[in-house]
Amino acid sequence: MKPLIPVGTAKIVAEGSYGPTTWANVFYVTIDAGTHTPGDVIANCVTFIHGFYATAFSAASFPSGWALSTIVVTYRDAEDSIVRVRVADAIAGSAGAGGQDAQVAYLVNWSTGDIRRGGKPRQYVTGVPDGVVADSARLNAGTVTAVTGRLITFLTSGLTLSTPMQLVEMSFRNGNADRVAAVTFPIIGASLNPVVATQRRRVGRRATGMGDPRDRQRARPRRLRTPAASSRQRARTIGDRGTTLGRPRPDRSRPHRRRTLRP
């Protein structure tokens, strides 16, 4: 069973829309150990994540038709208490009408001290205007440099709030099993990937963002299958008894021996 978030941490979900699609990004933070009221924590969580879109990216980083509308905070203030608050927010894209399809996204790579193998935390941020795309695969170098610098500033801004907080990776699983208690890894760096990312996006369904990359998410980056992978998949799907992962099975039958009658 998936454990609860630890005491003194908060889960923050930013929600919005882009054209006919909806999106959501998930963040986790640890709260300073000082004395803070739940109201103060909630207000500072909203301010912190609002800055991710308003400052680290800015309204000009998103096309018209993109909008941030709500920030939901779940704060565990005590062992037997969780406070949940939904706060209306409003940021609208101002980069103009030209924008990439909804499944195209900025990709933010977060750096942590997590030494486990596998993927690292990342954030898929939908709403890429045509003006920041250099070609069919990459963003403009100037956009990458500018946003990366502002992401670093965004990380440190959480530590200077009246309720200081640290953005973290929250791990609920280790290997193939749920942890007894969730573990946090402080996020110490960030960069905007120069390669444009893609993510499945359906009308009326949300796409999650950051979290433990080993956890299952409702939306995952799109992967292009190679011809070899496709043949393996067909072998599994069809159930061809003459193939193993798309390769012919070796013939292990014994040679037939002809019997002769002695005189």
Confidence of residue 216 (pLDDT cuts 50, 70, 90): very low
pLDDT per residue as tens digits for the range 189-204 = 999 999 999 987 656 5
State yes or no: pLDDT of 167 exceeds 60.
Answer: yes
At residue 213, the pLDDT reads 45
Question: Within 10 A of 244 (CB to CB), how many other CB atoms are there?
Answer: 12
The pair of three-digit structure tokens given for residue 72, joined into one six-digit string: 């939901």
At residue 234, the pLDDT reads 34
**Between 70 and 238, residue with greater pLDDT:** 70
So where are the chain's domains? 9-198, 223-249
pLDDT more than 90, % of the chain = 68
pLDDT per residue as tens digits for the range 87-135 = 999 999 999 888 999 999 999 999 998 888 766 899 999 999 999 999 9
Contact 69, 16 (CB under 8 A): yes
* H helix intervals, 26-163: 38-51, 141-157
Closest C-alpha to 121, from 111, 134, 133, 135: 111
At residue 24, the pLDDT reads 96
State yes or no: pLDDT of 218 exceeds 90.
Answer: no
The H or E element containing residue 179 is strand 177-192
Contact 103, 200 (CB under 8 A): yes
pLDDT more than 70, % of the chain = 75
How many Å apart are CA 52 and CA 58, to the nearest integer?
8
pLDDT per residue as tens digits for the range 39-82 = 999 999 999 999 999 999 999 999 999 999 999 999 999 999 99
CA 27 remoteness from chain centre: 9
Secondary structure (3-state) at 59: helix
At residue 22, the pLDDT reads 94
How many Å apart are CA 160 and CA 44, to the nearest integer?
10
User: Is the C-alpha dihedral spanning 168, 86, 2, 22 positive or negative?
Assistant: negative
How many Å apart are CA 246 and CA 186, to the nearest integer?
43
State yes or no: pLDDT of 27 exceeds 50.
Answer: yes
Q: Could you tell me which residues come within 8 angstroms of residue 121 by beta carbon, excluding any fewer than 6 positions away?
A: 110, 112, 169, 187, 210, 211, 212, 213
The pair of three-digit structure tokens given for residue 137, joined into one six-digit string: 């695969």
Is the pTM value of this prediction over 0.85? no
